[in-house]
Structure 1
């Protein structure tokens, strides 16, 4: 539906050809929207391979990274894996291995010659014990939706893929605690708990492909962190396997367990460098009965900040998402994916979502908020809806930006946290710095929690373009006391820049933990920590 009194409050809408205003209709009790997502990364990589569009090997693009002193695979190693898993769960065919060797945004590519597909914690334990004893490097991989090269090999590491560890073990509907294996796809978990009136407190554009274990290993933030917090708060327990095969059972389902060190936090965000997560216990809040989405057009970033401040004040406990999209980012989704924007062209757009239990109450709060920002002259145009298909259409404009970007050229993508007032400051700076060497410089992301996704798109990767961007972008972030990684992790792309966010003492302690838990360094080498 249109914003209440929109013709008077907001002024005439400019609707693109083939689209129409959202019709007003009574609110119904709705499930959470099923967001459009990109093709599964494995399918995407196979498409790349078929058209000869594979990126350069990581070892050639980044020659300064040297292969560690790990063993090369031999037939005796492969025979052990086959005896343990069976031939059908040990992949050595070059074409089949290809999709596990490349990330879906074409940034990095390894050359693993062996993909292992365990089904149980015990199989993971035996694989790691063998690899540790034989000094075989291992790259854990889930849905392979990462954006910093953390989930694909750098050289010839064995890939341990968790996709067949996809069993839901238990759901306590009273406490809302779900226990499952690490390879469960996020969207499948959402559907499962939804039947019991619950929801997963994490929502990502890649939820149709990503695995919960990968989400935990990268401490994924997602779209609704402003309401439900990050995974450090939602994950109650973890089972993980250390590099030597030892199984660490911290699979508590209690919200309060104050017995000693919280070891689960060692694995949340460690990106598979300290151990491989095999099971997860996650607290699932009640699914909202009322969901409302507003999409707004604004003329300045200052107006965005004022609108966000009022959204937090006036929507309060029902505010679930507060997203910013700039004009160039939106153009990547509408221009390449044939998505329709319900508003005209503006420098900035905001997507604001509420989750609540009473739609009459929520609509009243939303309308009061919209009337307030219109009276203050903050918003030029807008629309609001609580119809599932319309909400999906609006969310697609935000969630498919990265997918649209892959059609534009090579993406240098940065996931950083900045103080809110400086959230968008890097975009104009990078536009000037890159000049005509960049096709697009744009920014979008979670304005509600200070996490911007900055993209610099060029025709093709060049060292000159990289040198213009790095380390400048991290130096700038550090000067503002921001973080060089907000939610995507450090992966392969950022270890040498982690010092911009962590002190030497903190990095030294992390290295000590790595040495203690993985003395041979076989788990996801070349990732997270600087060499």
Structure 2
């Protein structure tokens, strides 16, 4: 007889809490005006479940402490770009009437990143609706040597979405239209400012799903996802955006519109230019529209949340999953005990399983309920019987599935409430994935409040986070370059999915050889000779 996990659902207590994010290095004086606070949105159809935080949204409050200017915290010099004049503002007003924002209070939210660790001082926010308007704006900025910072949902974690100095902020928020959807092929064409969650809802109504899913889906824009080559929770099943994106429309620095918005699965005619812009973080061009392949919506989705006695068992459970679940395995996430403690303490999310050193979330998605249930039951029986798993619970309805995913998706939110966060998003060989966490706990000792590890084990992607009461130069000195050197020693990547942005542009050499860096710089010079697009980001600063 198949042994099944008995779903044990405690009372889930999720009181609404003030959404102020205390994760930034701050001064004691008040920063008046709009603040970077999460926008709460309720889970549909699940009574009594807390709203999920949405990264990158804002609300007005006079209580948020001021974020230190990036140019004051970091040793960075402003490049010789022009400054915005009244004549420039008049020109922008002619191009996009009534969508030129200069009100300081409205600009404050767009000048500060979601983690509240970076703050620019842009005086202008532009909101175009079409690629033609973007083209006119960039052509003018190119002629005037005005620097431009493209911004989507502003949910990034490496400082790539906010200005460093006074760059013009070019927002894609109003470029939010679906152009077309092919019901047979599942090919979606839309503008870059469409919010990922809204696109997901749109295609799910047509029995498809988006090939990527992120914790920030309620705020992030699809254009920003492509610009950072976001990975997310479905990478294990559907792969990278380099594979699912079929075409792009991009506006280059001089205003040229590059229309490669094909909807063809196969097109072997020369260089695949769209790949240059996926992951380029707005430094080579502004993505204005995308054609993306959406997979069919699974008919059966199950999520198991399991406790494991050690990381060796986490790895063995993953191997067992691949062998026994095969094609229906769609996600394999892990988190350590300290992550669970943080979400319980700061967010009041209760664990549905007994306390364990590690937890894994296994998702299956397929086309037949009975087939998937049989395979999953066999796997769970084996995992429990062999001691790989000590406790677990299984969810088959959407309400409980979202509850289990919240434990994983809201770790970032819990960390920001724990203090200042040092975040590292790295790729490592799977068998060494957690060694760095253990190593750092011993290295840092009482300097750190928490050193936690979680992430997409199926992709070899570790989210390493260290929290402290406040920013500490000595703690940073113990972390960097040690974390990057350790990663390089394993032939890993210093950025698995968050991108490079401002915070990691100086450490690319740990993952890329000098020849690759030179070639990237040459491509940047070719496509953006004046360097006006998202300066100070992605590539190492040249002397």
**Does TM-score exceed 0.5, indicating one fold?**
yes
Does 2:100 align with 1:81?
A: no
Normalised by the size of structure 2, how large is the TM-score? 0.91
Residue aligned with 2:52, SS: coil
Q: Give the match for residue 311 of structure 1.
A: 321
Deviation at 1:54, TM superposition (A): 2.8
Answer yes or no: is the 8 Å Cα contact 1:474–1:497 preserved in 2. yes
Cα distance in structure 2, aligned partners of 1:176 and 1:14 = 38
Question: Could you list the per-position Cα deviations for residues 256-315 of structure 1 after superposition, in whole angstroms to 9, with x for gaps in the alignment?
Answer: 100000000000000000000000000011000000000000110000000000001111
Query: Structure 2: where are the runs of 5+ without partners?
Result: 14-43
Q: Give the match for residue 447 of structure 2.
A: 437
Question: Could you list the per-position Cα deviations for residues 227-282 of structure 1 after superposition, in whole angstroms to 9, with x for gaps in the alignment?
Answer: 00010000000000000000001111011100000000000000000000000000
Within-5 A mapping of 1:187-336: 187-336=197-346
Deviation at 1:109, TM superposition (A): 1.0
Query: Structure 1: where are the runs of 5+ without partners?
Result: 8-12, 20-30
Cα distance in structure 2, aligned partners of 1:6 and 1:392 = 18
Does 2:145 align with 1:130?
A: no
Does 2:69 align with 1:57?
A: yes
Residue aligned with 1:384, SS: strand
Does 2:167 align with 1:157?
A: yes
Residue aligned with 1:238, SS: strand
Residue aligned with 1:54, SS: strand
Size of the alignment, in residue pairs? Answer: 508
Normalised by the size of structure 1, how large is the TM-score? 0.93
Q: Give the match for residue 148 of structure 1.
A: 158
Residue of structure 2 aligned with 1:446, choices 437, 453, 456: 456
Residue aligned with 1:42, SS: coil
Does 2:506 align with 1:492?
A: no
Check 1:17–1:176 CA distance in 2 against 1; reply closer, same or farther (3 A cut): closer
Deviation at 1:15, TM superposition (A): 6.8
Cα distance in structure 1, aligned partners of 2:191 and 2:308 = 43
Residue aligned with 2:486, SS: helix
Deviation at 1:369, TM superposition (A): 0.5
Q: Give the match for residue 179 of structure 1.
A: 189
Answer yes or no: is the 8 Å Cα contact 2:45–2:399 preserved in 1. no
The RMSD of aligned alpha carbons is 1.8
Answer yes or no: is the 8 Å Cα contact 1:171–1:179 preserved in 2. yes
Cα distance in structure 2, aligned partners of 1:279 and 1:84 = 20
Residue of structure 2 aligned with 1:382, choices 386, 392, 397: 392
Answer yes or no: is the 8 Å Cα contact 1:14–1:344 preserved in 2. no
Check 1:74–1:258 CA distance in 2 against 1; reply closer, same or farther (3 A cut): same
Q: Give the match for residue 37 of structure 1.
A: 52
Query: Larger relative contact order (C-alpha < 8 A, sep ≥ 6)?
Result: 1
Q: Give the match for residue 438 of structure 2.
A: 428
Answer yes or no: is the 8 Å Cα contact 2:12–2:349 preserved in 1. no
Residue aligned with 1:6, SS: coil
Q: Give the match for residue 96 of structure 1.
A: 106
Deviation at 1:399, TM superposition (A): 0.3
